[in-house]
Amino acid sequence: MASTSFNPFVMAQQQFDAVAAKLGLDQATCDLLRNPDREYHFNIPIRMDDGSYKVFRGFRVQHNDARGPCKGGIRFHPQETVDTVRALAMWMTWKTAVVDIPLGGGKGGVVCDPHHLSLREQEAICRGWVRQIARNVGPIQDVPAPDVMTSGQHMLWMLDEYEKITGMKYPGFITGKPLGMGGSLGRTEATGFGVIYTLREALKELNIDIQNTTASFQGFGNVSQYAIKLYMDYGGTAISVSCWDHKEQKSFTYRKKDGLNLNELLEITNRFGEIDRQKAMDLGYEVLPGEAWIEQEVDILVPAALENQINANTVNSIKPSVKLIAEGANGPTTIEADQVIQSKNIWVIPDFLANAGGVTCSYFEQVQCNTNYYWPLDEVLTKLDNIMTKAYHSVSELARSRNLYMRDAAYMIAISRVAEACKMRGWV
């Protein structure tokens, strides 16, 4: 995740500063929006299965709530840092604004590795996280959700603890819950499908038939799995995917030049999105180094794992065949890499637009929970498609009319909406 050489929050602030200058925002608005409104750091002491005690570090950052309650996932990761959480909270503010849903930006995390924790220990961390922050979150205040290495089960433990503390039923406190327990149909697919809805629209604009395209994906978690599914349903050919291998402590790329078989890969993938390398080789996949996903002769690249993947060191590996990058991950491309991508004339669907399907469907789940009325799958996916398509075209039209890089256009729309909300409230 974050390292000493890469600070995602510094990158998020630099991206903001550049667009704020173009928009001519006043100093007070800049000062307000380039830092979080509130952040919480806390200890989570847990009794481990062996009877010993261990203290985990937890975070919740609320970047801005001018447009509505904060919204954002909780990730469990051994290299979690508060700067990562700050950046993700800030990007979430722009994400909800660019798709024009009435929410703000938040994010949470715990420094831990679920690979080495039993389910009981993970449950204890979830409940401890809620106990520390219960007064500062809630269905009309700040609504968490799953993120890296957290699931619907984790959300349900957190919901149960919150309801114990409040003595009320609040299914809208948290999203990404299992079906039948306040979860929404379509939520599991939403982020990956949203990436492909925007990709579909971009290819139409570029006059490229999706059925004639090839793509390489980075990551094989929930986002990438569903993005690959819908991309292939539309007739595209996914030829390679990379994923982390916990045993080897590094990533590998799995390639079949005539196209991946998604179902057979899913059968040999664990719940962390890690493909069994030996079984993949037995099925005839080429196993390449982890960074090979970016070096493929394809039309489309889809980074759908962690941040800082297309950077100054890797961007020059992108082949001339690549026409489009759809960012399924948060912050996968650094500012230095953006400059190279612009010079190569590659069309980019920026992260906080491309992957906004997840928070959009979380918003749907929130609405359904708060009204206690649940929608059928086709209604959820139709609403999602409509919002993602409209948001994509708003950004694309601005980019084309003013000759802007797509990321800058998306930022200009999002930041303008948030700044306007802050001004109308009389904050600045």
pLDDT value at position 271? Answer: 83
Determine contact, residues 104/69, Cβ cutoff 8 Å: yes
Determine the 3-state secondary structure of 402 from DSSP. Answer: coil
Q: Of residues 71, 107, 177, 229, which has the active-site annotation?
A: 107
The answer to whether residue 318 scores a pLDDT higher than 70 is yes
For residue range 128-148, what is the model confidence (pLDDT) as tens digits?
999 999 999 999 999 999 988
Domains 36-182 and 188-354 share a fold: yes
Give the model's pLDDT for residue 148: 85
* Structure tokens belonging to residue 88: 């993700």
Share of the chain above pLDDT 70, in %: 99
**H/E element, 308:** none
pLDDT at 3: 44
Q: Is the pLDDT of residue 2 over 60?
A: no
As to burial, measured by CB atoms within 10 angstroms (0-12 exposed, 13-18 middle, 19+ buried), residue 34 is: middle
What CATH number labels 36-182? 3.40.50.10860
Q: Residue 252: is its pLDDT beyond 90?
A: yes
pLDDT-based confidence at residue 273 (cuts at 50, 70, 90)? confident
Q: Is 107 a catalytic residue?
A: yes
Which pLDDT belongs to residue 249? 86
- Report the alpha-carbon distance of residue 319 to residue 298 in Å, rounded: 8
Structure tokens at 279: 């079984």
**How large is the average pLDDT for residues 401-414?**
96
pLDDT per residue as tens digits for the range 204-216? 999 999 999 999 9
b (16+ CB within 10 A) / e for 287-314: ebebbbbbbbebbbbbbbbbbbbbbeeb
- SS3 of 59, please? strand
Q: How far from the centroid of its chain's Cα atoms is residue 43's Cα?
A: 25
- The pLDDT tens digits of the residues spanning 11-29 come to 899 999 999 999 999 999 9
Q: Does residue 152 register a pLDDT over 60?
A: yes
What pLDDT, on the 0 to 100 scale, is given for residue 275?
93
Pairing of strands 38-47, 53-64: antiparallel
- What CATH architecture applies to the domain 188-354? 3-Layer(aba) Sandwich (3.40)
Has residue 1 got a pLDDT over 60?
A: no
Handedness of CA 410, 413, 417, 422 (dihedral sign): positive
- Give the pLDDT score at 4: 52
Whole-Å CA distances, 171 to 39, 61, 197, 268: 24, 22, 29, 34
Give yes or no for a contact between 48 and 121, defined as CB atoms under 8 angstroms apart: yes
Least confident of 128-142, 195-209, 238-252: 238-252
Look at residues 121, 8, 103, 111 and name the one whose alpha carbon lies nearest to residue 65.
103
State pLDDT tens for residues 69-123. 999 999 999 999 999 999 999 999 999 999 999 999 999 999 999 999 999 999 9
- Domain coordinates in residue numbering, the chain: 36-182, 188-354
pLDDT, tens digit, 9 for 90 and up, residues 349-374: 999 999 999 999 999 999 999 999 99
Beta pairing partners, 413: none
The mean of the pLDDT values for the chain is 95
Q: How far is CA 277 from CA 103, 216, 238, in A?
A: 41, 18, 18
